[in-house]
Amino acid sequence: MSQTNILLESGTNELEIVEFYVNQDGYQAHYGINVAKVVEIIRCQPVTSMPEMRHPAIRGAFSHRNGRIVPLIDMAQFLGCDCVDNEDAKVIVTEFNTVFTAFLVSGVNRIYRLSWTEVEAPGNFLQNVSRSSVVGVVRLEERVVFLLDLEAIVAELEPSMAICYEGTMAENHENRNYTILHVDDSHSIRNLVRDLFSREGNFTVQQKVNGQEAWDYLNELKARCETENKPITDFVQGVISDIEMPFMDGLNLCKRIKNDPILKDLPVAIFSSMINEPLARKCESVGADAQFAKPDMRVLSDKMMEMITHVRGA
């Protein structure tokens, strides 16, 4: 089962998820991941153990296409249950943050198309008990399905894979203070981006947890523009947005910004673990000025400064 050509129209605030299940202590727990991160779904593969595996959930690695070596994570083990061992188990091969990872699951049900408005944000209790590995909750055919944060799972199993920032910001020769609107439902990513821009000392970062909150905030700024007869760039100079977020995703937010006569000149950077060639085309189709995979923290900071100074100098 492969999803290589499943693409939604850009900016419609829709997503497609693969629903899978994991046998846990006598019952099936249902989970979902974004189809855009799935390379293919295959049968179990012969696995070779890797030295010094940090966590029992890491089964080992297997040879994928073109000789690529892909690590395999047993989702039942990660969730604290017995290993997946049923004969019809499946392997979901994914690509995000420019890295290939495979997840062993008990079975796969089907693909569902949803609106992000149908995705509920996880509450604090669910975030705590899931170790921040759940990013959303949906109800499908009377089942509760948890959308998993694969990046958080991989980072927990292998800390060196966690997103971090090293280096210095691009020099701000103008000695001005700029305001960035950053939109991401991940608490850890919001902290990283805030820390990144605070190092320079010339940035104020306003943060929202999803596209709807960001859109409401921008509309408040638009009202101030009209009341005070000022351009939007007097209040905010750039937008950085994730793609996957409950209620409104980053592509829909970007499309709204670029279609708005007051907001359209704001530079928008899409900052997501899902950036690949098809997703980059979708970002361009909604008017994004730049797109980056989440490991590119240094590139993000440099490009934002470049875009902001270009708009101000235009």
Best CA proximity match to 140, nearest among 122, 162, 154, 120:
120
- CATH number of the domain bearing residue 57: 2.40.50.180
Residue 146 sits in the same domain as residue 271: no
- Contacts of residue 7, defined as CB under 8 A and 6 or more positions apart, other chains included, come to 278, 282
Domain limits for position 184: 178-313
pLDDT-above-70 percentage for the chain:
88
Question: What's residue 171's pLDDT?
Answer: 53
- 3-class state of residue 279 by DSSP: helix
Last residue of a domain, one of 133, 161, 189: 161
Q: Is 13 helix (H, G, I), strand (E, B) or coil?
A: coil
Domain boundary (161, 193, 228) is at 161
Examine the domain organization and report whether 44 and 133 are in the same domain. yes
- Mark whether 42 and 153 lie in a shared domain: yes
Which residues pair with residue 142 across a beta bridge?
Answer: none
Same-domain pairing of 146 and 233: no
- Clarify whether residues 240 and 114 are in a common domain: no
Express each pLDDT in 221-252 by its tens digit: 999 999 999 999 999 999 999 999 999 999 99
- Residue 58 shares a structural domain with residue 188: no
Residue 123 CB: number of other CB atoms within 10 A?
A: 10
> What phi and psi values does residue 12 have, to the nearest 5 degrees?
-90, 0
**Are 97 and 142 part of one and the same domain?**
yes
Quick count: other Cβ atoms within 10 Å of Cβ 285?
14
Query: Residue 68's closest CA among 52, 89, 45, 35?
Result: 45
Can you give the CATH number for the domain in which 238 is found? 3.40.50.2300
Q: Is 102 helix (H, G, I), strand (E, B) or coil?
A: strand
Q: Are residues 154 and 190 in the same domain?
A: no
Same domain membership, residue 219 and residue 106: no
Predicted local distance difference test score (pLDDT) of residue 2:
44
Tally of structural domains, the chain:
2
In a domain, 276, yes or no: yes
Band (163; pLDDT cuts 50, 70, 90): low
Share of the chain above pLDDT 90, in %: 46
Q: Which of 100, 131, 161 is the last residue of a domain?
A: 161
Q: Quote the CA–CA distance of 89 and 106 in Å, as a whole number.
A: 4
pLDDT of residue 20: 95
Q: Calculate mean pLDDT across residues 188-196.
A: 85
Same domain for 157 and 182, yes or no, is no
Shared domain check, 155 and 23: yes
CA distances from 268 to 32, 95, 108, 138, 215 (A): 28, 24, 36, 29, 13
